């Protein structure tokens, strides 16, 4: 799991570099518009002055006046490049705002668009830069090329993580849907373990208001083979599931998981949430599923379905903020 955390930290820096490179493209396009417009004005002014006084322009301004048409085309090209740079920057910031997650195939849409537009930009920028005559060139013209290199390097690394590193470092994304066949309870557990739970990692969170002793046993059976993938387990259940043995079983499991370096956090949902929260969800740091009740997860004719991670993460945070720790609830109950 340390590798996953290092990868997440690395990706945060990569996203920032991508954004910086994109901003450099915008700077380059604005500077190019300024430079070409400045030269265009000098060229037109010099031409009018030459006609008015019937004197030739200076040797330094001769190439500028002769290249007025090229300067006009260059200004148009630089304006188009500026618009493209804005779109590139927008794509970079979309990717940056998703930095809390590891990149996925959904990120590829933005990285592909970013790469294609960056290539188009640098071609337009190069063509427009040719209009700037010798003697009026500046080192600022090379800023977009540095930005382009940063962008392409960042995009390339993001794609490398998605297509090469992520399947090995963070596991595959798992199945979108899995059907539970009630006539095959044993096979269901094996399939879930291999195709769903083996691909989960980090902080695993469960919202199941019917999570009881039987659910706890099924849950452990499902994570046991890949238990090293996890850093924390959080379970949200209801007060109605508390039997005389459940707290002790939770304590036993907590002690066992501590030996693996895994924290177990068990909380009881607010009574109002228990009534309103009918859907059971399970999520880790990057993927979320709608699931059947854990106590009969392998025996009920239902589906395990992948759902929107951000929505599930937000919902979990709401329920968690109003829930009470099992230990605290036990203490309050004993006091009463």
CATH number for the domain spanning 305: value is: 3.30.870.10
More confident residue, 24 or 41: 24
Residue 150 sits in the same domain as residue 188: no
- What would the pLDDT profile of 176-227 be if each residue is shown by its tens digit? 678 888 888 898 899 888 888 888 889 999 999 999 999 999 999 999 988 9
pLDDT at 23: 93
User: Domain ends where: 134, 169, 204?
Assistant: 169
Q: What is the mean pLDDT of residues 265-290?
A: 92
Q: Give the range among 88-92, 263-267, 330-334 with minimum mean pLDDT.
A: 330-334
- Residue 286 — pLDDT band, cuts 50, 70, 90? confident
Show the tokens assigned to 91: 């794509």
Residue 237 sits in the same domain as residue 121: no
pLDDT at 117: 93
Residue 92 sits in the same domain as residue 200: no
pLDDT at 35: 84
- Residue 167 — pLDDT band, cuts 50, 70, 90? very low
User: Domain ends where: 169, 202, 221?
Assistant: 169
- What would the pLDDT profile of 74-86 be if each residue is shown by its tens digit? 888 888 989 999 9
- Boundaries of domain holding 268: 177-335
Q: What is the mean pLDDT of residues 263-289?
A: 92
pLDDT at 151: 92
Over pLDDT 90: what percentage of the chain? Answer: 38
Q: What is the pTM for the complete model shown? A: 0.51
> If 0-12 CB within 10 Å is exposed, 13-18 middle and 19+ buried, where does residue 146 land?
middle
Distance CA 333, CA 336 (A): 5
pLDDT at 320: 95
Residue 116 sits in the same domain as residue 216: no
Q: What is the CATH number of the domain that holds 76?
A: 1.20.1260
The top-scoring range by mean pLDDT among 39-48, 97-106, 158-167, 191-200 is 191-200
């Amino acid at each position: 799991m340390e590798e996953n955390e290092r990868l997440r930290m690395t990706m945060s820096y990569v996203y920032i570099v991508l954004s910086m490179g994109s901003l450099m493209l915008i700077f380059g396009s604005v500077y190019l518009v300024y430079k070409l417009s400045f030269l265009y004005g000098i060229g037109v002014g010099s031409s009018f002055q030459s006609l008015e006084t019937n004197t030739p322009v200076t040797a330094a301004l001769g190439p500028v006046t002769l290249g007025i048409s090229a300067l006009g085309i260059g200004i148009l090209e630089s304006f188009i490049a500026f618009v493209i740079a804005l779109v590139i920057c927008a794509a970079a910031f979309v990717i940056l705002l998703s930095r809390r997650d590891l990149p996925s195939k959904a990120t590829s849409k933005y990285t592909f668009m970013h790469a294609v537009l960056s290539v188009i930009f640098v071609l337009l920028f190069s063509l427009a830069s040719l209009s700037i005559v010798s003697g009026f060139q500046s080192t600022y013209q090379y800023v977009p090329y540095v930005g382009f290199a940063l962008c392409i390097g960042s995009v390339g690394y993001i794609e490398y993580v998605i297509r090469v590193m992520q399947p090995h470092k963070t596991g595959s994304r798992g199945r979108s849907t899995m059907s539970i066949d009630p006539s095959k309870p044993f096979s269901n557990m094996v399939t879930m373990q291999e195709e769903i739970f083996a691909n989960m990692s980090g902080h695993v969170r469960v919202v199941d208001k019917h999570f009881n002793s039987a659910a706890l046993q099924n849950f452990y059976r499902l994570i046991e083979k890949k238990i090293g993938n996890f850093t924390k387990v959080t379970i949200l259940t209801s007060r109605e599931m508390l039997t005389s043995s459940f707290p002790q079983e939770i304590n036993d499991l907590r002690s066992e998981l501590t030996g693996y370096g895994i924290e177990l956090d068990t909380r009881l949902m607010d009574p109002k949430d228990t009534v309103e929260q009918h859907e059971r969800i399970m999520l880790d740091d990057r993927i979320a599923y709608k699931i059947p009740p854990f106590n009969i997860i392998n025996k009920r004719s239902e589906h395990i379905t992948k759902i929107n991670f951000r929505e599930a993460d937000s919902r979990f945070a709401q329920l968690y903020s109003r829930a009470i720790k099992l230990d605290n609830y036990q203490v309050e109950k004993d006091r009463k």
